[in-house]
Structure 1
Amino acid sequence: MTRRSRTDRARRAGADTGVDPELEEQGGWWTSPSSGSVAVATSVVRRLAWALMIAGPVLGGWALVSQPSADAHPAPVVQSSSGDVAGPGGFAEMYVAAFLRAGEGSQNELVAFYPRAADLELGGKPDAVQVGQIAAVRVKEVASGRYWSVTVAARVLEPTPKNSADSGDGEQPLIRMRFFQVPIEADRDSGPLTALALPAEVAAPSGASSKAELAYGTPMPAQASDPAVDTLSAFFAAYLSGSGELSRYISPGARLSPVRPAPYQSATVTQVAVETAFQDSDGDGQLGAPAGRERLRLVVDVKAARTDGIARPLSYALTLAGRDGRWEVAALDPTPKVTLPGLPATPTAAPSHSPAQ
């Protein structure tokens, strides 16, 4: 078909469709016969399509966040399972924090956690009590995956009551530690959580009658002449204050990195406790140098000083390994070795001064 016949056909189609008869069909688009016009029109259409594709999600997100909500504080949807106490514990923390800050007119904030809170009579100004720190200190599973009793500790800043002996002239706010017990239920197995009642203020939880004991001997003062203390001192100086090269004091293959940025200006080993199986053959309170490839578990107390002069006492559980007549740090243990009543020591440790694997 010749160009003339195509143009004639385009003019006839244009007369029927209302399209300019000077345009011709190109790949489904009616375009000008000019190649320059074709390029311009195609470029405009392509750019418009990309603009719509990019703007679509943006406009959708704006519509989502801008649409009005009947409740300024929507209910937090927290999922949980029978093997995970973080869900009930975290939910109880948020609930108690909202409860402590609540005041007149803030019922809806509590409804998010406790549906019956809409009918409560609340007095005082909202946020009169400020919550500084809050944590679930005990989570007891009452029914597997369905029901928990959570005890929450809250460090609060509350106004001093008028005419109180603590008020003084300045009426400084009081800092108190308070404890609350909350019943939490999952709507269904592993479903959203809800509170079944208002928080109950309780006394601080008492300690358990049987306690774990560290499986280490009596702490010994660190002696600078002890080869083990020399290694530990250099290790913690590099680890906490960036003084020296850490790799010089760790065993090959140990994955340890210094704390960065270094939080302390200096770190000093003050005392060392050795696992109880260790025998001090010389009786001089020193670990001495390794005879071979021994391994030894310790709890080390460190005094770490900041640049402003403030010092912090820190404790580390770690494992030393002997190599070429000197000690190296083989690992920072996740927990100290302990003994529990009626149970073997945990974690299971290699025998003291046993050959390294």
Structure 2
Amino acid sequence: MKRAHRQRKPAKKHVIEAEAWDEEVEEEPSETEAYEPEPDETGWTTSTAKMAGLSRLVRVGVWALVASGPVLGVLAFLGSSGPAQGVTKPVAAATPASPVGPAGFAELFVSAYLQAGQGSERDLAPYYSGSVALAVKPGTRTATQSTVIASREVQPGYWSVTVAADVTAHDDKGKSKRLGVQYFRVGIQATGPAGAGGTEQGPATAGYAATSLPAQVAAPTALKPGGLAYETERGASSADPSVETARGFLAAYLTGTTELDRYTSPGTRLQPINPAPYAAVKVTGVQDDLSGSGQQKVPADGTVLHQLVQIDATDQAGSPVALSYALTLKSRAGRWEVSSVDDAPAIRASSPPSAAPPTTPSPDAATATPSPSPSNS
């Protein structure tokens, strides 16, 4: 017997254009019996009410994703900005220890030491905390000038500093006698940052202490300068065009009587000494590095000439002052022009300085290690 098929009549709905997803659509009851599907072969049944619930569930999930979008974005950004796993962070380069602080402290210590005497030992306390007993009368010696000529870090934070002092002696009658330049070596311990001579690599308070009283040492070995590169002697002849240029330039440079531009190459920036220290300039000797006995004719454009010029400059009081200037000249348009005032006279590269034989054996103040001395407690 065949089952009688039911007549399907769709339910009438009011179509509503919802502005929000969560508005429900109401259905009008059908005049005929609503069609309820029977379970299919899988056992699932579908109804209008169940579909509406599923739709609401989907809409809630979509809104949850939209609301959590900014939070997920922030978490992703923070995760990507963190340090990558396995990537080695760059290590900051260590700051090299500076000798400036220990050197200045040693210079002050030597000056105080030379001035101190019996009864004024406490003046050395800021520099040296060891026991001190001086027999000399205070003020017997003074350092009219002093400077550091060598400093070397013998251990981390521990420095050997050599100070040159121009010493003057004073007797009981008030007379003074210059003893000349004497050399004193001091051991200085430094604490604090490496920039102050210590061992720390970060911000720290610097401190210094001498490990003993100064030790007087011999002068450093004198050197005989290497050969100069100026092999040709020109004398003070005014007939040489290069000498004329040097004379005019130095007169303008030291006296300010004329402009430098007429003696310098285009683009050369040199300023005269202001105020002018001298009233007149006299060339007493000129050496250069061009071969030939005479240079009456200026060579081709672009030729470079190095000069060493000796002069007597007369000051405002009429006293002559001997000076030397190393100049570089270039030829242009049939004349010599000054292109620079050199930092130092040129020497031949094949002629390094040599040590003069010392009269007595003595350690080199620049490289010798100070004798061991007890550290401050």
The answer to whether the superposition gives a TM-score over 0.5 is: yes
Q: 2: CA distance between counterparts of 1:219 and 1:148? A: 47
Q: 2: CA distance between counterparts of 1:322 and 1:293? A: 5
Q: 1: CA distance between counterparts of 2:150 and 2:167? A: 19
Structure 1 SS opposite 2:278: coil
Give the aligned partner of residue 330 of structure 2. 321
The size of the alignment, in residue pairs, is 247
How much has 1:130 moved relative to structure 2? 2.7
Give the aligned partner of residue 196 of structure 1. 211
Give the aligned partner of residue 254 of structure 2. 240
Q: 2: CA distance between counterparts of 1:216 and 1:342? A: 13
Q: Judge conservation of contact 2:139–2:170 (CA < 8 Å) in 1.
A: no
Q: 1: CA distance between counterparts of 2:333 and 2:150? A: 48
Matches within 5 A, 1:164-243: 172-177=175-180, 178-187=182-191, 189=194, 190-191=197-198, 192-208=207-223, 211-243=225-257
> Are residue 99 (structure 1) and residue 99 (structure 2) matched?
no
| 1:148 pairs with one of 159, 167, 172 | 159
State the AA in 1 paired with 2:177: L
Post-superposition CA distance 1:266-315 (Å, at most 9, x none): 1122212213xx222xx23x474232122222221121111222211111
Structure 2 SS opposite 1:238: helix
How much has 1:82 moved relative to structure 2? 4.6
Matches within 5 A, 1:26-175: 82=96, 84-116=98-130, 119-143=131-155, 146-160=157-171, 172-175=175-178
1:246–1:201 CA distance, 2 compared to 1 (3 A): same
How much has 1:83 moved relative to structure 2? 6.3
Post-superposition CA distance 1:64-116 (Å, at most 9, x none): xxxxxxxxxxxxxxxxx756444333222211111111124433432222232
1:195–1:340 CA distance, 2 compared to 1 (3 A): farther
Ranked by relative contact order (alpha carbons within 8 Å, sequence separation 6 or more), the top structure is 2
1:154–1:262 CA distance, 2 compared to 1 (3 A): same
| Structure 1, 210-219 or 300-309: larger mean CA deviation | 210-219
Q: 2: CA distance between counterparts of 1:187 and 1:212? A: 41
1:218–1:187 CA distance, 2 compared to 1 (3 A): farther
Q: Judge conservation of contact 1:142–1:148 (CA < 8 Å) in 2.
A: yes
1:87–1:213 CA distance, 2 compared to 1 (3 A): farther
Post-superposition CA distance 1:148-187 (Å, at most 9, x none): 3222221122124x7xxxxxxx763111122211122323
1:308–1:103 CA distance, 2 compared to 1 (3 A): same
Structure 1 SS opposite 2:277: coil
How much has 1:316 moved relative to structure 2? 1.4
Q: Judge conservation of contact 2:239–2:296 (CA < 8 Å) in 1.
A: no
| 2:314 pairs with one of 305, 327, 335 | 305
Post-superposition CA distance 1:122-152 (Å, at most 9, x none): 3455334232111122334434x63332222
Q: 2: CA distance between counterparts of 1:243 and 1:206? A: 44
Unaligned runs of 5+ in 2: 1-94, 199-206, 353-377
Q: 2: CA distance between counterparts of 1:288 and 1:149? A: 57
1:231–1:342 CA distance, 2 compared to 1 (3 A): closer
State the AA in 2 paired with 1:172: K
State the AA in 2 paired with 1:236: L
> Are residue 271 (structure 1) and residue 285 (structure 2) matched?
yes
State the AA in 2 paired with 1:227: P
How much has 1:330 moved relative to structure 2? 0.5
Q: 2: CA distance between counterparts of 1:100 and 1:288? A: 61
State the AA in 2 paired with 1:237: A
1:218–1:342 CA distance, 2 compared to 1 (3 A): closer
Q: Judge conservation of contact 1:135–1:154 (CA < 8 Å) in 2.
A: yes
State the AA in 2 paired with 1:308: A
State the AA in 2 paired with 1:181: R
Q: Judge conservation of contact 1:292–1:324 (CA < 8 Å) in 2.
A: yes
Q: Greater helix share, 1 or 2?
A: 1
Q: Judge conservation of contact 1:214–1:339 (CA < 8 Å) in 2.
A: yes
Q: 2: CA distance between counterparts of 1:215 and 1:110? A: 49
| 1:293 pairs with one of 274, 285, 302 | 302
Q: Judge conservation of contact 1:236–1:268 (CA < 8 Å) in 2.
A: no
TM-score by length of 1: 0.62
1:99–1:332 CA distance, 2 compared to 1 (3 A): same
TM-score by length of 2: 0.59
How much has 1:219 moved relative to structure 2? 4.0
Post-superposition CA distance 1:31-82 (Å, at most 9, x none): xxxxxxxxxxxxxxxxxxxxxxxxxxxxxxxxxxxxxxxxxxxxxxxxxx75
Bigger-Rg structure (1/2): 2
Structure 1 SS opposite 2:213: coil
